Copies of this chain bind each other. A is one copy, B any other.
Amino acid sequence: MGSAQPESGRKQPVTVSESSIQRLSRYYRTLESAAEIGIKHISSSELASSNKVTSAQVRKDLSTFGTFGRRGLGYSVEELKMGIADILGLNRRYNVVLVGIGNIGRALLDFGEFRRRGFDIVAGFDIDPKKVGSKRKGVDIYHEDDFQEIVKKLDVDIGIIAVPAANAQDVCDAIIKSGIRAILTFAPIRLHVPENVAVRYEDMTIELESLSFALANG
């Protein structure tokens, strides 16, 4: 994982660290911005400096997935962008269901970036009778009791958990029962899931701790 490999064409990713995937997402954003302003080539040091990593790290991250760029010429912005999109599975759209229409749930529904990046929230769920039956940003809010039935009708790829910690595992179990194999959770507890289910934790304190590190070491 993450160890430099000889550059020899696109390889099957075997074990890749989450950090490395997150960096690819960040490189992808830099490439998008570069493409928008008409830049055609970008060097590993340019990609590095706008993402606060070393050029060696950039080259290592990219070489894990195959050959990109040519020595001295840097990377073709368009090619690398497509390459990373391919790696990250961004060349298609994903259907997402959201459980919990509190502050975070509402923020997610209102957040245009998800749709722009290919993630469509296709249904919301809550237990509050005031929310059930309503619509937000065109998305229907259903009762959590109807979760299995609704999910069966939609072709859902990802479930988002935005309920209080005390209910998160129950919601997680319901999501897994429905056959969904990818979960993003905002609840600050560790979830128990089978091996074949991918879970990501959106932990907003992690970035704050990165700032406290910067303050402590600045």
Flag A197-218 by CB within 8 Å of B: 1 or 0 each: 0101111111111111111111
Q: Does the CB pair A200–B207 fall under 8 Å?
A: yes
Within 8 A of B (CB), among A142-188: 157-158, 181-184, 188
Asked whether, in the complex, the Cβ of B209 is within 8 Å of the Cβ of A21, the reply is yes
Q: Is A117 in contact with B215, judged by CB distance below 8 angstroms? A: no
Q: Which of B1, B24, B202 interacts with A207 by CB under 8 Å?
A: B202
In the assembled complex, A54 has its CB within 8 A of some CB on chain B: yes
How far does the alpha carbon of A1 sit from the alpha carbon of B57 in the complex, in Å? 9
Q: Decide: A18 near B208, CB < 8 A? Known: A107-B107, A215-B181.
A: no
* A108 adjacent to chain B (CB < 8 Å): yes
Is the beta-carbon distance between A107 and B111 smaller than 8 angstroms?
no
**Assembly CA distance A198 to B52 (angstroms):** 11
Size bracket, chain A contacts: 35 or more
Q: How far is the CA of A104 from the CA of B104 in the complex (A)?
A: 6
Q: With A and B bound together, what is the CA distance between A186 and B183 in angstroms? A: 21
**Interface pair A18/B182, CB less than 8 Å apart:** no
Tell me if A17 is interfacial: C-beta within 8 Å of chain B: yes
Q: How far is the CB of A23 from chain B (nearest CB, A)?
A: 7
For the complex, is A22 an interface residue (Cβ under 8 Å from B)? yes
Instruction: State which of A68-76, A87-95, A122-130 sits at the interface with chain B.
Output: A87-95
Closest to A19 in B: B19
Residues of chain A having any CB pair with chain B under 8 Å: 1-2, 13, 15-26, 28-29, 33, 52-54, 57, 87-90, 94, 96, 102-104, 106-108, 110-111, 113-114, 117-119, 157-158, 181-184, 188, 190, 196, 198, 200-218
